[in-house]
Amino acid sequence: MTRVIRRRVGVTALAVTLLAGAAAPVAAAGPDRPELRAALQEIVDAGFTGVQLRVHDRRGDWTGSAGAREPGGTAKPPTDGRFRIGSTTKTFTAAVVLQLVAEGRIGLDAPVAGYLPGFGFDPRTTVRMLLQHTSGLFNYTGEYYDDGTVVPGIPWSGKEWVDNRFHTYRPQDLVRYSLARPARFAPGTGWSYANTNYVVARLLIEKVTGHSYADEMRRRVLRPLGLRDTMVPGTSPELPGPHSHAYYRYSDGGQEKTVDISRQNPSWISSAGELISTTEDLGRFFSALLGGKLLPAPQLAEMLEPHATPDPTSDYGLGIFELHADANCSGEALMTHNGSVQGYATLVYSTPDGSRTLQASITYVDTGVAPTAAYQKVVQSLLRKEFCAA
């Protein structure tokens, strides 16, 4: 999704459509966690279609699900189901770039133009600015300003997107689309979340390695960590294996229509949000990343440090958010990068050392309306019940 709530909350907001007849939650075998089962039911009661959850903490591993795989159905969401993880992809992409930094193949503070000549990048734009969203590059999925002004980008919602959801976008074309439009601000003078930054990061990876983004992701992250259920789909619309369905509701000639959009060509979001994964794989990835198994200590420290920016409330390091201790009742910071992409919302939270993690996938009927407080409310309730329990 193109927008995130970034004022010390570390959650991605999305639209809510109330659905009736939700099923009761089902927990996995193991120690009973009634507080977590209650939190799952709260999510379903708030109008979401279904949710699957996995936590790892001092009491061990726990998985559970609530609701249904699709509206009106009776089958429960699979606790090992695959889902589109949206912007959580950015943490994976940042990890690959920082591995290349550690190898001396990319300079974190080097100009992007030096690696990608011919695009017309501002020579002041650095690799660090891409990963931290301080480049000012126009967000090709649209710019949203504090005064309510919206500058549209490529279609990713409404009837136009539904009708063209199998269209293929080339990453270089998405970047050129952005560069053909005015920058939001001069490089390094502000902070603004932009999918463009992470598509440029993909082009960097491919340029310096000579290999595709998918190949490098598999070689550097997925295979070493044994993430067998995580996929880089590219232009494939398939969502293989067990999964819950996502739906999109839109207006067509004055009539309201609802379609299953679980299958879609994710090339429109590319390396900023295309990955498919599971809660188990996401937990393994974040534990390994934060535990120092993917990056050398200097690059991990760079990633986790919300460097000083003109907007100090952004709380964004390099591909990851920090939920501050003063906003978290556990008394310690949590690392996060949630995501959402039409009908799928991903939650990922971890303690800074990766020893305690929470991952969830929430499915819903996307209406394309403004973010709502209901989503933030159920997420905060879930966090309290997991990270604030004695």
C-alpha span between 283 and 92 (Å, rounded): 13
Q: Supply the DSSP string of 88-127, one letter for each residue.
A: GHHHHHHHHHHHHHHTTSS-TTSBGGGTSTTS---TT-BH
| The token pair that represents 27 in the structure block | 């927990």
Residue 113 and residue 101 in contact, taking contact as beta carbons nearer than 8 Å: no
Q: What is the DSSP string of 192-222?
A: ---HHHHHHHHHHHHHHHSS-HHHHHIIIII
From the list 65, 87, 157, 350, the catalytic residue is 87
Paired tokens of 276: 């498919």
- Tell me the C-alpha distance between 342 and 334, whole Å: 26
**Count of C-beta atoms within a 10 Å radius of residue 251:** 12
- Given a contact cutoff of 8 angstroms between Cβ atoms, the answer to whether 6 and 338 are in contact is no
Parallel, antiparallel, or unpaired: how do β-strands 365-366 and 247-252 relate? parallel
Give catalytic status of residue 65 as yes or no.
no
Q: Tell me how many helices (H) and strands (E) the chain has.
A: 11, 15
Q: Helix axis angle, 195-209 relative to 89-102, nearest 10°? A: 40
Q: Closest by alpha carbon to 209, among 97, 319, 302?
A: 97
In the structure encoding, which two tokens stand for residue 372, read together? 């709502």
Residues marked active site are found at 87
